[in-house]
Amino acid sequence: LTYRLLLLLLLLSPRAWAQQPPFAVPAGYFLFPIRPGQVNYLSGSFAELRPDHFHAGIDIKTQQREGLDVQASAAGYVSRIRVMRGGYGNVVYLTHPSGHVTVYGHLLDFGPRLGPLVRQRQYQQQSFELDWVPKPDELPVQRGELIGHSGNTGGSAGPHLHYEIRDDRGNVLDPQRFRFSEVPDNVPPVIEAIALRPLDARSRVGGRFERQEAVPVRSTIPDVWTLADTVRASGTLGLELLAHDRANGTANKNGLNCVEVLLDEVEVYSHAMESLPNEFSQDINVHIDYVTFQQTGRSFQRCYLADGNTRLPIYRDHAARGRLRIQPGQVHWVTVTIWDTFQNRTRLMFVVKGEPTPSAVPADSLAGTPVSSRQPVVLVQSVEENTLVVRARAAPPGAGLTLYKNGQARTEPAAYTADGETVYLFDLRRGLPDSIAVGATAQPTYLLRTFYPGQAAGLVAGRATLAFSAESLYDTLYLTGRQRGERLELGTPTLPLRAGVVVTYQPPVSVPLPGKSHVYRLEGTRERFLGGQWQPDGRIRFNVRQWGTFVIRADTTAPRIRLLRKSPEGFAFTVTDERSGIGHFRARVDSQWVLLQYDYKRNLLWSEKLDPAVPFSGELTLEVTDNSGNGATFRADFSTPAPAPKPAAVRRRRR
């Protein structure tokens, strides 16, 4: 075995296609935007796997604080400035003569030069949120010029600088490809686990139609990992990889750059994260095993191209599309190599032993688990790709699976039995059963209809009407749905949608306050506001971006406003809303609009003057409206002192 491994290692050449510097600017063209010339650390890397997107840049650590100088990477001009509640928060875009655009996100402020200009525009437009696209000659910048300070604004979970380099076609590029010496990395990436998934009803891993995970162990060869056990499998398998990269001096788990898979020394799959078209970023949901991500929060990358994964240009073209075809009686070698941006690599090699392709077991010869016939059969259904999987506990020996469709019945034999569980596999391309039965136990399937990607289609299902666009789906969808009391259940949350599906819904009970009532999606124990528009016919129309359970809820409670401080220098409030969330806010002092900064993560609103030298005087009015149109107003005069905070409000939290 060791000899074989060594031989294979000699055959494996280092990858060539990722080593070419792909972007034509001289070395050192871009200045590192934080503390250039000093060692910096990353808390996030390019193309790292994030919920619903690949990370578009790098996250540079800022010593766990805000306020570090952010410097322009190269000469050019300010091409866009945005102020957003979420997303990148305060963000600056610079366009450079090379055609590249650099992006600096989650800024605390825009610095002494851009800051006052941004504030002026916010006052002109009477809006906290801003999207300003200056003309090319309006705001030139020099290389190294201060363009703001690092912060934690927008959808940032801690102080850092989000930094991107884009090309002139809107692709985001790996900034580390520009060879910044500020981020040293000679630590190889780590393979945490792999998974093998049978890709059709005739395939098995360890005798089962079940995705199975394994954790690598060290082999006798340095830097090469293997699996403790030989995998026994048959048919067509998909390999999945849970891996991360680490860099010097930090414990952060960052993303990989390249992955390559060989089956018996022949490359069957590879991808490289060098550049990504930003508009396809959500296709991460077909790049990763989305089901496992939704169920466990772990992002396994698929080392095969799933149906529907057609737009991402990161894959090398292979006829096999990464699928591992296992031949009966053969011993296959699988080699997985992963690289970080600095060409540090880690390799895993393991053996898959081919077993005979299973044929369905005839019902009468099936060795079922001997059980008392009075014991009820427990059925669990799931749909995997095109296969309806029915797992039966306590099935009578030899029992088949009966499928009903429009009153017609057909019976299928079990596929196999393992650990007292009888497993039935039915190809849904043959039709969608209404209900299924094993022994005396019957169950509805709630399968409604089959939808195909690239095809617009509609469906009336009970109280809901669904409209699919040609863009809605990645892959064939066997849609399930049902009304369950007040709850509308649609689809399987573990299946990704490529674009939204428009649902028009007649609630089962009359809604007394339609103006205050909206659609909420159940997420664990929370109900998340989705919104929706009421139609003249009394139905509500809303957009579904993720399948799940939907309810109508009324929010009649106004937001809560609490004054934190008020003086001629400025004022601050906390604002909260119990159900639908903060919608709009507006402050005036003596009928003059005042800019409010908003930090949704801390529920904070605070004033920012146009001219800091002019004290506030007169009457302060703050109006806050929630997403259901409930409003609250706070009024006070600057001449009267603010009430002393209640003792509870100033009590220190114990640590």
CA 6 – CA 11 distance, rounded (Å): 9
> Minimum CB separation from Zn ion for residue 52, in Å?
14
C-beta closer to Zn ion: residue 119 or 162: 162
The one segment of 159-167, 281-289, 580-588, 616-624 that binds Zn ion by CB under 5 A: 159-167
Q: Report the nearest approach of Zn ion to the CB of residue 151 (Å).
A: 13
Q: Which is nearer to Zn ion, 165 or 425 (CB)?
A: 165
Residue with Cβ nearer Zn ion (104 or 342): 104
Taking the complex as a whole, the smallest distance from the CB of residue 154 to Zn ion amounts, in Å, to 10
Which residue stretch of 157-165, 423-431, 588-596, 620-628 sits at the interface with Zn ion (rule: CB under 5 A)?
157-165
Closer Cβ to Zn ion, 59 or 577, answer by number: 59
* Segment interacting with Zn ion, rule: CB under 5 A, options 156-164, 413-421, 447-455, 559-567: 156-164
User: Is the distance from CB of 618 to CB of 637 less than 8 angstroms?
Assistant: yes
Nearest to Zn ion of 59, 260 (CB atom): 59
Site mask for Zn ion (CB under 5 A), range 320-339, x = bound: --------------------
Residue 263 beta carbon to Zn ion: minimum distance, rounded to whole angstroms = 35
Scanning 116-124, 154-162, 477-485, 633-641 for contacts with Zn ion by CB under 5 A, the matching segment is 154-162
Minimum distance from residue 57 beta carbon to Zn ion (Å): 6
Helix %, strand %, coil % of the chain (to 5): 10, 45, 45
Contact 503, 468 (CB under 8 A): no
Minimum separation from the CB atom of position 172 to Zn ion (A): 11
Residue closer to Zn ion by CB (options 154, 322) is 154
Least distance CB 58 / Zn ion (angstroms): 7
Q: Which residue sits closest to Zn ion, CB atoms considered?
A: 162
CA distances from 243 to 96, 193, 266 (A): 35, 7, 22
Q: What is the dihedral of CA 252, 256, 262, 268, to 10 degrees?
A: 140
**CB of 60 or CB of 540, closer to Zn ion:** 60
Q: How far is CA 87 from the centre of its chain?
A: 14
Stretch that binds Zn ion, among 120-128, 162-170, 251-259, 520-528 (CB under 5 A): 162-170
In the complex, what is the shortest distance from the CB of residue 164 to Zn ion, in angstroms, rounded to a whole number?
Answer: 8
Element (H, E) at 50: strand 49-50
Place of tokens 């890397």: 45
Q: Does 162 bind Zn ion (CB under 5 A)?
A: yes
Considering the complex, state which of residue 162 and residue 391 has its C-beta at the smaller distance from Zn ion: 162
489 binds Zn ion (CB under 5 A): no
Cα separation, 274 vs 293, in Å, equals: 24
Distance, in Å, from the CA atom of 595 to the CA atom of 607, rounded to the nearest integer, reads 6
Segment interacting with Zn ion (CB under 5 A) among 11-19, 160-168, 257-265, 463-471: 160-168
β-pair type (345-354, 378-384): unpaired
Q: How far apart (Å, rounded) are the C-alpha atoms in residues 516 and 630?
A: 8
Q: How far is the CB of 104 from Zn ion (least distance, A)?
A: 11
Q: Minimum CB separation from Zn ion for residue 175, in Å?
A: 11
Residue numbers 36-95 binding Zn ion by CB under 5 A: 59
Shortest separation between residue 163's beta carbon and Zn ion, angstroms: 8
Question: Distances in Å between the alpha carbon of 317 and those of 112, 271, 314?
Answer: 50, 9, 10
Q: How many residues does the chain have?
A: 655
CB 55 within 8 A of CB 176: no
Cβ distance to Zn ion smaller for residue 55 or 347? 55
Q: Which is nearer to Zn ion, 150 or 344 (CB)?
A: 150
Task: State yes or no: residue 174 binds Zn ion (CB under 5 A).
Answer: no
Q: Which long-range contacts (CB under 8 A, 24 or more apart) does 389-393 make?
A: 389/209, 389/423, 389/424, 389/425, 390/423, 390/424, 390/425, 390/426, 390/436, 390/438, 391/421, 391/422, 391/423, 391/424, 392/421, 392/422, 392/423, 392/424, 392/438, 392/441, 393/420, 393/421
Q: Which is nearer to Zn ion, 81 or 488 (CB)?
A: 81
Residue with tokens 């004033």: 607
Q: What are phi and psi of 6, to 5 degrees?
A: -60, -40
Give min distance, CB of 488 to Zn ion, in A. Answer: 35
Binding residues with Zn ion: total (CB under 5 A) = 2
Q: Looking at beta carbons only, is 102 or 627 nearer to Zn ion? A: 102
Using CB atoms within 10 Å of the CB of residue 294, give its burial: 0 to 12 exposed, 13 to 18 middle, 19+ buried: middle
Residue owning tokens 């209809």: 449
From the CB of 77, what's the least distance to Zn ion, in Å? 23
Query: Rounded to the nearest whole angstrom, what is the least distance from the CB of residue 60 to Zn ion in the complex?
Result: 9
Query: Cβ contacts of residue 544 below 8 Å, gap of 6+?
Result: 490, 491, 497, 500, 501, 502, 503, 550
Q: For residues 59 and 274, which CB has a smaller minimum distance to Zn ion in the complex?
A: 59
Write b or e for each residue in 399-417: b if 16 or more Cβ atoms lie within 10 A of its Cβ, otherwise e: bbbbbbeeeeeeebbbbbb
Q: How far is the CB of 49 from Zn ion (least distance, A)?
A: 13
Residue 162 or 244 with smaller CB distance to Zn ion: 162
Site string for Zn ion, 374-413 (x = CB under 5 A): ----------------------------------------
DSSP designation for 558: P
Q: For 484-498, b where at least 16 C-beta lie within 10 A, e where not — what string?
A: eeeebbbbbbbbbbb
Question: Is 161 or 394 the residue whose CB approaches Zn ion more closely?
Answer: 161
- In angstroms, the CA 179 to CA 470 distance is 41
Q: Where does this chain bind Zn ion (CB under 5 A)?
A: 59, 162
